Amino acid sequence: MRLFIALNFTNDVKARICEVIRRMEENAEQGRFVRDDQVHLTLEFLGEVPNGRVGAIRRAMDALDFEAFSLRLSKVGRFRRREGAIYWLGVEESDALLTLQRALHKNLLESGFKLEERDFTPHITLGRKVALRPGFDTGALSELVRGVEAEITKVDLMKSDFVPGGVKYTLLYSKPLRG
């Protein structure tokens, strides 16, 4: 199974993020855009995991002892790639988010998982291989989410399946946060 651990958002917050995606799509010359039901913030990508290891992932998640917290959405940015940019939506700096992600990373490493060793850059992917029309101002997209706060009340284990036309995500387990 191809797995990742993520923060999912309420429908209200997702709707605001999806409005950014729709506006971006309207102003793109090319790109593959995230579907409404796929909007999330990845905490840890696990990749291919045997069925028998899911219990260890759940235990690593259950060992998290954190209070619920808020994230404030910030601005649209991009990672430049040869084949087209990956556009993302950032969040304002959050000690709670960074501490949660570090604890999860540590728990998973201690459980024997091989993880990416790059710095955690919290972001919500909006689209891949995107080329926007010349002159389009992404600042206008950032304005659509200015001041939007997302309440983070749980951490989710997600399965990713390749299906005709894209990817399907399935929730496997949720670890509630205190509060």
Catalytic, 105? Answer no
Distance CA 153, CA 8 (A): 9
CA angle 107, 112, 114 (to 5 degrees): 95
Neighbouring C-alpha atoms within 13 Å toward the C-beta of 161? 7
| Of 71, 122, 123, 145, catalytic | 123
H or E stretch covering 143: helix 139-143
Q: Which pLDDT does position 118 carry in this prediction?
A: 87
Whether 123 is catalytic: yes
| Interatomic CA distance for residues 30 and 3, integer angstroms | 28
Contact (CB, 8 A) for 125 and 160: no
Rounded distance between C-alpha atoms, residue 145 and residue 89, angstroms: 9
Q: Which of 83, 179, 96, 77 has the alpha carbon at shortest distance from 129?
A: 83
Q: What is the pLDDT of residue 55?
A: 98
Task: Provide the pLDDT for residue 82.
Answer: 82
Which domains, ranges and CATH numbers included, belong to the chain? 2-176 (3.90.1140.10)
This prediction's pTM: 0.94
Greatest distance between any 2 Cα atoms in the chain = 51
Q: How far apart are CA 91 and CA 42, in angstroms?
A: 12
pLDDT in tens, the chain (179 residues): 999 999 999 999 999 999 999 999 999 999 999 999 999 999 999 999 999 999 999 999 999 999 999 999 999 999 988 888 999 999 999 999 999 999 999 999 999 999 988 899 999 999 999 999 999 989 999 999 999 999 999 999 999 999 898 899 999 999 999 98
From the candidates 5, 40, 108, 132, which is the catalytic residue?
40
